[in-house]
Amino acid sequence: MSQTGKRTKTRHDDYRGRGVLRELLIPWGVYTRAMSTGTTSPQTIVIVGGVAGGMSAATRLRRINEEATIIVLERGGEVSFANCGLPYHVGGVIPDRGSLVLQKPEQLKRRFNIDVHVRTEVTAINREARTVAARNVLTGDVQEFSYDALVLSPGSTPFRPPIPGVETAHVLWNLDDMDALIAAADGASRAVVVGGGFIGLELAENLVHRGMSTTLLEALPQLMPSLDVEMAWPLVERATHNGLDVRLQSAVTTISPNGVMLSDGTEISADLVVVAVGAKPNTELAVAADLTMGEAGGIRVDEQMRTSDPHIWAVGDAVEKERVDGHTLVPLAGLANRHGRLAADSIMGQPASAKVAYGTSIVGFFGLAAASTGYTERVLVAKGHRPRIIHTHPVSHAGYYPDASQLAMKLLVDPDSDAILGAQVVGDEGVDKRIDVIATAMSAGLTASDLMDLELSYAPQFASAKDPVNMLGYVNDNRRRGEKSVQWHEVSEWMDQGWILVDVRTDGEYSRGAIPGSQLFTLDELRENLDQFQGQRVIVTCRVGQRGHTAASLLAQEGIEVANLDGGYLTWNMGVAATPSSEPAPAH
Ligand SMILES: Cc1cc2nc3c(=O)[nH]c(=O)nc-3n(C[C@H](O)[C@H](O)[C@H](O)COP(=O)(O)OP(=O)(O)OC[C@H]3O[C@@H](n4cnc5c(N)ncnc54)[C@H](O)[C@@H]3O)c2cc1C
């Protein structure tokens, strides 16, 4: 029934029996035979949500089955738009708005024979009748669509924290949001972005590109929660270097059209406030239809992306993904696209099985890239693990070839099984390659030691003969064989317990900055001073941990108890800078 009282048309009548040659009735619906495989498949598939997951499902369905009726119902004004590109149009990096819209409904009809209904919001699922009710958001007219299979890909909604005045703030989630944001930014000069996750970072950078004086506020002590605190520090440095004012541990208590107020009473004036503090899955339809929900608040699906109703599949941000040790929300475009395709295969009776999700992601920020996969140290420790932690700082390509830059890498390993639990890479060049190699290794079940043996491409402008990923494997191998290490945040505690700290860098390096309480013995002087360390417990450190490893090997062979500072002075410095209260500042 139409809620507006207008005549309601049932699409089921339009589609059922239209040109279907090999119709077959089986217990849960009317099926056609998929052309490529000869398996049975549903005749009418309705898809809720026409962007990442939904449109991947729709086009894949058509590629497998020419006969099925495929209907996409989308609440917004466009389907198949590039939400990941929105911040870059705000900043003018992507000047043409039209390039963000990848497919128009007319094109989808012509090329794929997909019936797309935009500005059409699905308001209810009737599981018994296998229909959905959909409201035209412009006219209020309600229509009913019958399905044999239903795919839910309704995405998520930006979270608006319960702060007074939050309704005056902008969000950035779709093209309408982007247009409103750009209109507000035109002629404005000061902006505040609340939230230091990947959308907050991308947006803040692009507002700076627009020439706006921008402040980025984050309530946590770090940016990018997908990184550990020390690995996130270069983002703060890069922001500062580019004139973006970053304030950590800054909780907003009030938002108004004139700016924000922080919990410590600080007022920050702004013409424009944008809130980017995460998203919540759009599960209302699924909950109302009594589909099984998971503990993390998303729709629960099996490895074929099928919900608790055998006629309903769900993908994308609204769905919980299987991770190594449980199910959780992983709102990323790659997974939504992959699972949309996988759901289509499953609907068409083709083999399909989702793999464990590692949450592999990357953000670009003023030329810096920060990427991660798997779990962070913070999460692992909270789960009760004691991972082996490895920090390295290799150059992105051979140091002798121009423009090499330094990476910061972190690997988290299960010390018992040698399984890779997570990785993080931050730097200017080659970050994507390294994180993707490690993510692939994890997905293939390779161990951390296997990273040593990966045969990776090399020429001086791209890598080193021992690629940074191989180097992580070597360090892991040393540690697996018993080399002791100490983490940056443990140094002062160990020194309190009587360990001495020996810095084996050069005089020049030491004079530019050193860990308080350390003694300088350059690596080349160490051999002739071994007597001094007998009976002592020694932490050795250098710039990145490599000379420290040589020093540790030497001392250990002399019977001296020794530990190498993991990641050396660079990691210690990042950690201390990121957590000012944890360690004394470097001595100069
Ligand atoms: C600004 C921004 C930048 C991003 N950048 C990246 C990135 O760089 N990398 C990355 O991996 N991920 C990124 N993402 C996340 C990525 O876009 C999402 O994970 C992905 O789009 C989720 O796909 P989905 O199909 O679940 O939802 P969406 O792609 O959001 O599509 C859901 C659609 O469903 C529609 N809908 C919802 N409810 C209904 C209803 N009841 N009836 C009809 N239609 C409905 C919505 O209007 C929406 O268009 C970004 C997201 C944003 C917003």
Note the pLDDT of residue 326: 87
Residue pLDDT, tens place only, 448-463:
999 999 999 999 999 9
* Residue that wins the pLDDT comparison between 21 and 238: 238
Is 13's pLDDT higher than 90?
no
pLDDT of residue 421: 98
Residue of the CA atom closest to atom 2 of ligand 1: 84
Residue 301 Cα, ligand 1 centroid: separation in angstroms?
18
Q: Could you tell me the pLDDT band of residue 581, with boundaries at 50, 70 and 90?
A: confident
The CA–CA distances, whole Å, from 497 to 38, 491, 494 equal 71, 10, 5
Structure confidence at residue 3 as a pLDDT band (50, 70, 90): very low
Structure tokens at 15: 């589609």
Reduced to 3 states, what is the DSSP secondary structure of residue 271? coil
Distance 388 CA to ligand 1 centre (A): 36
Query: Where along the chain do its domains lie?
Result: 11-157+281-347, 166-277, 367-480, 485-578
Q: What confidence score (pLDDT) does residue 580 get?
A: 79
Mean pLDDT along residues 67-95: 96
Ligand 1 pocket, 316 CB below 6 A? Answer: yes
Q: What homologous superfamily is domain 11-157+281-347 in, according to CATH?
A: FAD/NAD(P)-binding domain (3.50.50.60)
Percent of the chain residues topping a pLDDT of 90: 90
What are φ and ψ of residue 549, in 5° steps?
-65, -45
Q: What is the pLDDT of residue 324?
A: 86
Question: Is the predicted pLDDT of residue 447 greater than 60, yes or no?
Answer: yes
| Mean pLDDT, all residues of the chain | 92
pLDDT score, position 18: 34
Q: Report which residue type is found at 564.
A: N
Report the range of poorest mean pLDDT among 273-282, 318-327, 479-488: 318-327
Q: What's the half-sphere exposure (Cβ side, CA atoms, 13 Å) at 152?
A: 34
Residue 313 Cα, ligand 1 centroid: separation in angstroms? 17
Among 47, 51, 329, 335, residue to substitute to test ligand 1 (most atoms within 8 Å of Cβ) = 51
pLDDT of residue 588: 53
Rounded Cα distance between 505 and 27, Å, is 74
Phi then psi for residue 320, to 5 deg, are -80, 140
Under 8 Å between Cβ of 391 and 425: no
Q: Is 173 in the pocket of ligand 1 (CB under 6 A)?
A: yes
pLDDT digit string, tens, across residues 200-240? 999 999 999 999 999 999 999 999 999 999 999 999 999 99
CB of 154 within 6 A of ligand 1: the answer is yes
What digits encode the pLDDT tens for the residues 551-567? 999 999 999 999 999 99
Pocket lining: 54 vs ligand 1, CB cutoff 6 Å: yes
CATH of domain 485-578: 3.40.250.10
pLDDT for 506 beyond 70: yes
Residue 20 has pLDDT above 60, yes or no: no
Yes or no: domain 166-277 corresponds to CATH 3.50.50.60? yes
Q: How far is Cα 79 from Cα 81, in angstroms, rounded to an integer?
A: 6
Would the CB of 78 count as within 6 Å of ligand 1? no
Q: Is 86 in the pocket of ligand 1 (CB under 6 A)?
A: yes
Atom 18 of ligand 1: nearest residue by CA position? 333
| CATH fourth-level superfamily of 367-480 | FAD/NAD(P)-binding domain (3.50.50.60)
What average pLDDT score do residues 45-53 get? 98
Same fold: 11-157+281-347 with 166-277:
yes
Name the pLDDT band for 584 (thresholds 50, 70, 90). Answer: low
Residue 390: phi and psi, rounded to 5, are -130, 125
Q: In which band, very low, low, confident or very high, does the pLDDT at 17 lie, cut at 50, 70 and 90? A: very low
Closest atom of ligand 1 to 331 CA is 19
